[in-house]
């Protein structure tokens, strides 16, 4: 079972805080069967603690509001709920668009001293898409959808919408239809 994960995190435009202090503010995930069908979804906002006030840049980029993160559970609680959701799949394969999501999830797990919810295997779908095209160039989700003849559905830089669109690209990759 492929688990397509997309994370949104605190971010800034002018180095107000280092990348190592970015925190997850949304987890979006889709469970995708071999044929490409999304059979289940997970979405939750996360209340950040290091930089609890979202920058204007972050709010504009993600469309996530301060009220949404203020009302959200903290990372350990969200991860517990996410891990419970993952538990319905015997061998969940962690997939994301690039390496960022895996590194950010590992960083937040270390900071909060909680277990990482996946094994060692991670599939970088961005790299897989480039392999299908036979190029070294790496494409963003929007560019990859366009190259595949698809349109982005939803709001860019929202975890659940990005995960849904990446799930569509996973099907393209699996079928090598680019």
| Cα–Cα dist 125/29, whole Å | 14
Select from 133, 120, 118, 127 the least CA-distant residue to 98: 127
Residue 173 CA, distance from chain mean position: 18
Q: Is residue 87 part of a domain?
A: yes
Structure tokens at 20: 């190592």
For the chain, state the CA radius of gyration.
16
What percentage of residues in the chain have a pLDDT greater than 70? 99
Residue 98: which CATH number? Answer: 3.30.420.10
Contact criterion met (CB below 8 Å) for 3 and 159: no
In a domain, 69, yes or no: yes
Residues 3-41: pLDDT tens digits? 999 999 999 999 899 999 999 999 999 999 977 899 999
**Is 170 within the bounds of a domain?**
no
Q: Which entry of 21, 41, 112, 157 is annotated as an active-site residue?
A: 157
Q: Which domain holds residue 120?
A: 2-124
Is 157 in the active site? yes
Count of domains in the chain?
1
Tens of pLDDT, residues 126-143 = 999 999 999 999 999 999
Judge whether 53 lies within some domain.
yes
Is 84 inside any structural domain? yes
């Amino acid at each position: 079972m492929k688990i397509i994960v997309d994370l949104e995190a605190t971010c800034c435009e002018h180095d107000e805080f280092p990348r190592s202090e970015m925190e997850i503010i949304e987890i979006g995930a889709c469970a995708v069967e071999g044929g490409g069908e999304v059979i289940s979804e997970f979405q939750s906002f996360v209340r950040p603690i290091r930089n609890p006030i979202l920058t204007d840049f972050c709010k504009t980029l993600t469309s996530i509001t301060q009220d949404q993160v203020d009302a959200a559970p903290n990372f350990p609680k969200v991860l517990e709920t996410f891990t419970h959701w993952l538990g319905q799949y015997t061998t969940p394969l962690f997939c994301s668009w690039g390496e960022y999501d895996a590194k950010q999830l590992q960083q937040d797990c270390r900071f909060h001293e909680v277990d990482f919810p996946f094994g060692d295997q991670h599939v970088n779908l961005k790299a897989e898409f480039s392999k299908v095209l036979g190029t070294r160039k790496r494409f963003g989700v929007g560019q990859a959808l366009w190259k595949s003849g698809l349109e982005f559905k939803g709001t860019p830089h929202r975890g659940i919408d990005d995960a849904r669109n990446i799930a569509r690209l996973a099907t393209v990759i699996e079928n090598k239809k680019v």
